[in-house]
Every structure is written in structure tokens, then in C-alpha cells.
Amino acid sequence: MALKILDSCINCDMCDPECPNGAITLGEEIYEIDVDKCTECIGHYDKPTCVSVCPIDCVKPDTDNVENEEVLLAKFIRLHG
Ligand code: SF4
Ligand code: SF4
């Protein structure tokens, strides 16, 4: 599934440049993840890199957007050919 950033985000800007899909952008108040671009880092890393770099652990699974590995891989192929 895609990931989401919680309201506790402190806008530290650590995650944005690390996302291989350009899925993270600064929204009106905090950073946000584009569901259509988040692949859980499948195809790039063994685990979500935004989770790894976030200093306050505020990136969590988006249970409203549950996707299996097949769907995530298809998204990776669509984004990167
Ligand atoms: S899990 Fe990976 S693809 Fe998804 S937002 Fe985080 S860094 Fe980007
Ligand atoms: S690394 Fe965490 S606290 Fe920093 S901008 Fe990203 S989600 Fe927010």
C-alpha cells in the first residue's frame, strides 16, 4: 500500500529528496505523499526509504490505499518503464 505522512510531520525535508518516485511534496502545511506515485520503494529499495530517514517516525501505511506487491510493481513499471 502507499504510505502517508501524519500531521506530526515537522517539515524537516529529509524524505522529499530521497523518494525515488518524486512522490513526496510539500503540501499546504506538511509534506504529502502522492498515492499514484508511492510504490513502497519496490524496485529501488528493500524497505520504504522515507520511513528510514524520517527522524520522528511519522510515515505510516495508508490503510485507505491498500495495494499488493503486484499492483505496486505495475506502478513501478508505469513510472519508470
Ligand atoms: S515509500 Fe518510497 S516511493 Fe513511497 S513515498 Fe516513501 S520514498 Fe517515496
Ligand atoms: S522526514 Fe518525516 S518529519 Fe521530515 S518532512 Fe518527511 S515526513 Fe516530515
User: 23-38: per-residue pLDDT in tens?
Assistant: 999 999 999 999 999 9
Q: Is the CB of 58 under 6 A from ligand 1?
A: no
Kindly tell me if the per-residue pLDDT of 68 is higher than 80.
yes
Question: How buried is 64 (Cβ within 10 angstroms: 0-12 exposed, 13-18 middle, 19+ buried)?
Answer: exposed
Mean of pLDDT values over 38-59 = 96
Indicate which ligand has the atom closest to the C-alpha of 13. Answer: 2
Instruction: Give the predicted TM-score (pTM) of the model.
Output: 0.94
Q: Which atom of ligand 1 is nearest to the CA of 24?
A: 5
> Residues 58, 2: contact at Cβ < 8 Å?
no
Mean pLDDT of the chain: 95
CATH hierarchy code of domain 3-80 = 3.30.70.20
- Ligand in closest contact with the CA of 12: 2
Whole-number Å distance, alpha carbon 67 to ligand 1 midpoint, is 14
